[in-house]
Structure 1
Amino acid sequence: MSELEDKFGKWSWEIQKEQQASVDELKNSLSELAQKYRVEAHELSRIRDSEKSQMYSHFANELDRLNKGGA
């Protein structure tokens, strides 16, 4: 393996590591947002605002689905 190939392989690996960190950060953000929507849905159901509660629950479920790789 040439020196150039060795440097390129390391460079490519570093980019892949950074991209994975970005994906992990995005997944964590989606999970946190989904949890906030779940809490809000619960609070809305307690004050008997079922329409908004259902909407927030739907948002939370969609964020979970997207976080698991759904399109």
Structure 2
Amino acid sequence: MVAPADACQFFVEGGDVAVFGDSHAITLSMGMARVLEPEGRGIWQFSASPCAPSYRLERDDPCTLWTNETV
């Protein structure tokens, strides 16, 4: 999993929109980035393919730890 500090950015460094999720977020990020690029806006992509969003759970598994660190 990619650490939040190393998240992908599309088209504009320091984008103002974040996409968070599992592998579906990857496709969504690219589509949104193409729409926002002409406006000078960019996307941060926070995704972990095997991890469905699970915010504020108190578990010790890698996906929950990644989610809590990212959000």
TM-score in terms of structure 2 length: 0.32
Kindly indicate which of the two structures has a greater share of residues assigned to strand: 2
User: Greater helix percent: which structure?
Assistant: 1
Give the structure-1-normalised TM-score.
0.32
Higher relative contact order (CA 8 A, sep 6+): 2
- CA radius of gyration, larger in: 1
